[in-house]
Amino acid sequence: MSALFEPLQLRSVTLPNRIVLSPMCQYSAIDGVPNNWHRIHLGRYATAGLGLIMAEATHVNAGGRITPGCLGLYNAVQEAAFGAIAADVKQFGPTPFAIQLAHAGRKASADLPWRGGHSLQGPQAWLTVAPSAIPHDAGWHIPQELDDEGLDAVKRDFVSAAGRADRAGVDLIELHGAHGYLFHQFISPISNKRTDRYGGNAENRMRFPLEVFEAVRAVWPKHKPLGMRITGSDWVAGEGLEIDDAIAFAARLKELGADFVDVSSGGVSPKQKIATGPGYQVHFAAAVKKATGIVTMTVGLITEPQQAEAIVKEGKADLVAMARGLLNDPYWAWRAADALHGEVHVAPQYLRGRARGVDTPREIVLKAVR
């Protein structure tokens, strides 16, 4: 039995295997509303045999969007559009549909990446907020430091977005606490220079993300899983977060009812020095899993079936998230199932494409029907 193709139960949600479509920003929304591009992008994975399909970073208010092209879930039009996509995805296979809820903090109000991704200037720009009034980089806008009223508003927006996600038919939520966005900005000493109860020591810096998680968990249905993407390292030696910080944060999340953590890294500082390579973030997930026992997801340059199999089989992570690999080969799970002798869901319309060995396409179809 392939470990990669074993189902995983998270509360009432069954993931048919351990392969996850990682959230990938498409920067193609208009006023935060998913459109035909998102329906095609996400819909093509409905029959790909994955364990979980996760929509890209979806922002809880307009000011929290990374770019003007980013998705949102803060009004009824957006909610209805997500509901249509969720229905499409779940109509044609057993793969649950997830969403990543986010707020970009000081990294908001940026241009589209194919236009350079720099801080917007002039009438297109909007006010951004952050733990401290420190710009992300030289040439970036100075964010407004969040006061108590602003913190409460952000928390309410996350709670509201979770309610909309539930009504839209979303099965699982991941809160975005990495990549230099708002929650990560609070946790990292690089971006958080506050002197109140939300700044200073590690316990204080974790406080606001944990408060938001707890508030969302309180309204998100008990039978549905909730987790967070967290940071394994800021990759800024001597200044930023390291793996012990990730372990401490994951342990607190677990106490509050988190069902999983998705361990990534970097993004909070232009000073980062990232050592990339195949599976370069797996050791972060492995350390968190070993120390806390929480279900972990890993991501980053995982491209080959045997590589993904070893990660799960050796207990380094429970789930393997893929982005570029699934963009290059949407039916990667089929290839992995062939290589690892795993079982994967295939829609009857596509069964002819699964003919192997001595079986003819007709025999494959007849076996499935029987």
Q: Judging by DSSP bridges, how do beta strands 97-102 and 71-72 pair with one another?
A: unpaired
Interatomic CA distance for residues 331 and 49, integer angstroms: 7
Question: Contact at 8 Å (CB) between 308 and 315?
Answer: no
Catalytic residue among 45, 74, 181, 198: 181
At 152 the three-state DSSP class reads helix
Q: Which residues contact 55 (CB under 8 A, 6 or more apart)?
A: 23, 34, 38, 42, 71, 82, 85, 97, 98, 99, 100
Got the DSSP string for 288-352? Answer: HHHHH---EEEESS---HHHHHHHHHTTS-SEEEESHHHHH-TTHHHHHHHHHT------GGGGG
Pairing of strands 260-264, 319-322: unpaired
In degrees and rounded to multiples of 5, residue 82 shows phi and psi of -65, -35
Q: How far is CA 8 from the centre of its chain?
A: 18
Burial (Cβ within 10 Å: 0-12, 13-18, ≥19) of residue 80? middle
User: Please, are residues 138 and 64 in contact by the beta-carbon 8 Å criterion?
Assistant: no
**HSE-CB of 5 using CA atoms within 13 angstroms:** 19
181 is catalytic: yes
DSSP string over 240-304: S--HHHHHHHHHHHHHTT--EEEEE---S-TT------TTTTHHHHHHHHHHH---EEEESS---
Q: How far apart are CA 192 and CA 188, in angstroms?
A: 6
> Which residues contact residue 30 at a Cβ distance below 8 angstroms, ignoring those fewer than 6 apart?
69
Burial of 101 (0-12, 13-18, 19+ CB in 10 A): buried
Q: Please identify every residue annotated as catalytic.
A: 181
